[in-house]
């Protein structure tokens, strides 16, 4: 398994110097309510650039995501891609309690940053397709397959049950 701790000894304290790294590694436990990263490895092409304050990490990060549709709960796969741009501050360039990533010694631990970025990039309200009709709150039928017999007079309450579930998931 590839280590996400990267040595920056060659560039640290030499503003302008940089190195490039490619990462292919699974990240476990990255999830929001209705979406989570697949066990398949994520891919990251990162440039580590030495700056006055520490090391600036930039580049694309992508991964495969498994989602449950927020309307019909069908599972489907999607891709997520995010361009990161994060400073890892070196000692002496931040207050003790400042909430930023840090250069630890001469090493960057990229894992917390990659987790944060990918978690933020996951869809909060995934839809299996833009016009997903969801399922009937009364009989449970998938309305993408056709209307059920109880769709009349339910226009206001149709989504109520699912909306409740969704609201809870989003809070958690």
Contacting residues toward Zn ion, per CB under 5 A: 69, 71-72, 74, 128, 132, 136, 138-139, 148, 150
Distance in Å, CB of 9 to Zn ion, minimum? 50
Nearest 5°: phi and psi at 166? -65, -45
Is the distance from CB of 88 to CB of 54 less than 8 angstroms?
yes
Q: In this complex, which beta carbon is closest to Zn ion, that of residue 4 or of residue 69? A: 69
Q: In this complex, which beta carbon is closest to Zn ion, that of residue 43 or of residue 143? A: 143
Distance in Å, CB of 94 to Zn ion, minimum? 45
Distance in Å, CB of 151 to Zn ion, minimum? 6
Tokens describing residue 146 = 């056709």
Residues 6+ apart with CB under 8 A from 38: 63, 64, 65, 66, 77
Q: In this complex, which beta carbon is closest to Zn ion, that of residue 75 or of residue 81? A: 75
- Cα dist from 156 to 135, 137, 150, 167, whole Å: 14, 11, 13, 17
The 8-class DSSP code of residue 144 comes to: G
Q: How many residues does the chain have?
A: 172
Q: In this complex, which beta carbon is closest to Zn ion, that of residue 25 or of residue 133? A: 133
Distance in Å, CB of 124 to Zn ion, minimum? 15
Nearest 5°: phi and psi at 28? -85, 150
Distance in Å, CB of 125 to Zn ion, minimum? 11
Q: In this complex, which beta carbon is closest to Zn ion, that of residue 54 or of residue 126? A: 126
């Amino acid at each position: 398994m590839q280590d996400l701790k990267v040595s920056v000894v060659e560039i640290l304290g030499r503003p302008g110097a940089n190195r490039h790294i490619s990462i292919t590694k699974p990240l476990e436990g990255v999830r929001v309510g209705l979406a989570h990263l697949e066990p398949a490895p994520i891919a990251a092409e990162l440039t580590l650039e030495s700056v006055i304050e520490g090391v600036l990490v930039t580049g694309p990060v992508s991964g495969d995501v498994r989602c449950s549709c927020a309307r019909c709960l069908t599972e489907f796969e999607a891709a997520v891609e995010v361009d990161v741009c994060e400073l890892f501050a070196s000692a002496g360039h931040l207050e003790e309690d400042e909430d930023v990533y840090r250069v630890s010694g001469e090493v960057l631990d990229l894992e917390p940053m990659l987790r944060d970025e990918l978690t933020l990039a996951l869809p909060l309200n995934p839809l299996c397709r833009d016009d997903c009709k969801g399922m009937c709150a009364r009989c449970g039928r998938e309305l993408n397959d056709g209307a059920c017999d109880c769709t009349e007079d339910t226009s206001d309450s149709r989504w109520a049950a699912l909306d409740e579930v969704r609201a809870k998931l989003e809070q958690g």
